[in-house]
Amino acid sequence: MSTLNKNNKFIPLLIWLFAFFILVFFTTNIYSNMQINLDENKTKKEELEKLDTKLTSLNNIQKELENKDNKESQKINKFTSDFSEDKIIKYINDYFEQINQTEWNTVLKLNSISFSDKEKSELWFKQINIDLKMSVNNKYTLNNLLDYLVSDINKYSFFITDFNFPIEKSWPYKINIPLKMFVR
């Protein structure tokens, strides 16, 4: 009877040990998967928070750029405007007329203006080369003209690429001003 009693105790112990082994085998896998999922969830939440702050920042920038009174948006909008040769010619000619009206004689005279075709630039904008040929009566007027063309507050942004004129001659000078303009 004692061997039967030992067998009776051994079989439940064996069943209990087998059940414990199965429980440990399956729950460890579940526990490790749960830990991996919790870690992934934490990293995704952190990533989502970073993207939310970035989105908020970009939305604020967009609102600032849409504000027409903002000086920065005005500077940027110069480059997004549509290009029209007629508007550029009128814009430059209006300045010449304004300056000539303040003087008793003609100090700025536009001889010719030419435009190149639009070319894609390295800045992803389209680049247009403008060649201004004119006569200028004095260096003060020339300096003001150059300041006007590259000023930040103007409707258009021009870049002077290469400018020179002979100093030896007396005024008026016939000058050539090569400009670059970037548009979308």
pLDDT digits (tens, 9 = 90+) for 76-90: 666 666 677 888 888
pLDDT class of 1 with cuts at 50, 70, 90 = very low
By mean pLDDT, which of 17-21, 133-137, 162-166 is the weakest?
162-166
Q: Is the backbone of residue 124 left (phi > 0), alpha (psi -120 to 50) or beta? A: left
Whose CA is closest to 179, among 20, 32, 154, 57? Answer: 154
Sequence letter at residue 164: N
pLDDT band per the 50, 70, 90 thresholds, residue 42: very high
Q: Determine contact, residues 98/154, Cβ cutoff 8 Å.
A: no
Reference 163, options 147, 145, 179, 183; nearest CA is 179
pTM of the model: 0.56
What's the pLDDT tens digit per position in 85-131? Answer: 888 888 888 888 888 887 766 677 888 888 888 777 776 777 888 88
CB–CB of 181/130 below 8 Å?
yes
